[in-house]
Amino acid sequence: MNENDLSILIDVRQHIIAIYDYLEHKNMPHAMISQQVIAKELDVVIPKIDKILKDKVTFSKG
């Protein structure tokens, strides 16, 4: 893992923490959140992870 990979990974971690912190009722058993909100956040995080892994693994569609 090179320095660029580490930088991207730190950015992904910070983004995930920000998503977690954004959740208003994360400790309530019946809390609700829009799937659209989660989908938008995952659309940001997944490409960042893919950027780290692109030269290290091959993904298969299945």
pLDDT digits (tens, 9 = 90+) for 15-39: 999 988 888 888 888 888 888 988 9
Which carries the bigger pLDDT value, residue 26 or residue 7?
Answer: 7
- Whole-angstrom distance, CA of residue 22 vs CA of residue 6: 24
- The answer to whether 56 touches 16, Cβ cutoff 8 Å, is no
If one counts every other C-beta atom within 10 angstroms of the C-beta of residue 52, the result is: 19
- Whole-angstrom distance, CA of residue 58 vs CA of residue 39: 23
In one-letter notation, the amino acid at residue 40 is: K
pLDDT in tens, 35-57: 898 899 999 999 988 888 888 88
Closest CA to 12 of 46, 40, 36, 38: 46
Q: What percent of the chain has pLDDT over 90?
A: 29
